[in-house]
């Protein structure tokens, strides 16, 4: 009888132990894991910003940050001129920006990165290098210090299945946003035009492009 009572008692202890483990109860624990978070250049980020190094004024500075700098300490846009930075998908709705004589350079798929940097025809590309699809929003926070008639336009361009498409066009004065969805591995491009045909040498466009991403 005593032996039986002991066996039943041990069985009861094992059962209680299993029940406690199942509910996640414990008195103390220590678990060590490795973690690594790197700060990388803009081109290698989860939201990648890839400059077309062939385009003047567009690049990556010594700190790895993507920059657009046309003028200031760099060569600027000539007075009485039109400059295009990166190819556009279409020249639709640009006549008011480019004037009558300027021919807009277009490309069937300017933001294509399938063959690497050599195929990029946009001024710069935004690449989804994360594991989730996300919505990309570009806010134009630009200050127009324009005494003359300098104008500008930005085109947002998608690259899907070998075909380029205009996702949005923002023309001066810009007060809104350009938004599109970007699946994992997809890229969008941005190209822009500056028309200084009626500009003066004191004209300046400064500020920032704020790029935000949120999972779909």
Per-residue pLDDT 10s for the chain (216 aa) are 433 333 333 333 333 444 444 555 666 666 666 565 666 678 888 888 888 988 888 888 888 888 888 766 667 788 888 889 999 999 999 988 887 788 999 999 999 988 777 789 999 999 888 899 989 888 887 776 677 778 889 999 998 888 899 999 988 887 778 888 888 888 899 999 988 888 878 787 777 788 888 887
In a domain, 23, yes or no: no
Distances (CA, A) of 181 to 85, 132, 151, 185: 24, 11, 28, 12
In a domain, 19, yes or no: no
In a domain, 139, yes or no: yes
In a domain, 25, yes or no: no
Contact 151, 185 (CB under 8 A): no
In a domain, 24, yes or no: no
Strands 134-145 and 177-182 turn out to be: antiparallel
What is the domain range of residue 51? 42-215
Distances (CA, A) of 167 to 47, 50, 159: 18, 18, 10
In a domain, 191, yes or no: yes
In a domain, 130, yes or no: yes
Q: How many domains does the chain have?
A: 1
């Amino acid at each position: 009888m005593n032996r039986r009572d002991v066996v039943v008692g041990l069985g009861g202890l094992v059962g209680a132990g299993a029940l406690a483990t199942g509910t996640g109860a414990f008195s103390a624990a220590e678990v060590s894991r490795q973690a690594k978070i790197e700060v990388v250049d803009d081109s290698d980020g989860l939201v990648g910003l890839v400059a077309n190094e062939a385009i003047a004024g567009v690049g990556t500075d010594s700190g790895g940050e993507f920059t657009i700098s046309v003028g200031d300490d760099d060569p600027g846009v000539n007075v009485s001129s039109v400059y295009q930075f990166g190819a556009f998908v279409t020249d639709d709705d640009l006549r008011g920006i480019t004037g009558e004589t300027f021919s807009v350079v277009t490309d069937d798929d300017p933001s294509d990165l399938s063959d690497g940097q050599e195929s990029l025809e946009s001024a710069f590309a935004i690449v989804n290098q994360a594991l989730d699809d996300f919505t990309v929003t570009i806010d134009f926070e630009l200050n127009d210090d324009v005494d003359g008639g300098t104008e500008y336009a930005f085109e947002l361009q998608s690259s899907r299945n070998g075909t380029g498409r205009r996702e949005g066009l923002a023309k001066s004065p810009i007060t809104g946003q350009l938004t599109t969805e970007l699946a994992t591995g997809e890229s969008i491009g941005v190209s822009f035009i500056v028309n200084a045909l009626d500009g003066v040498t004191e004209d300046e466009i400064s500020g920032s492009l704020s790029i935000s991403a949120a999972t779909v």
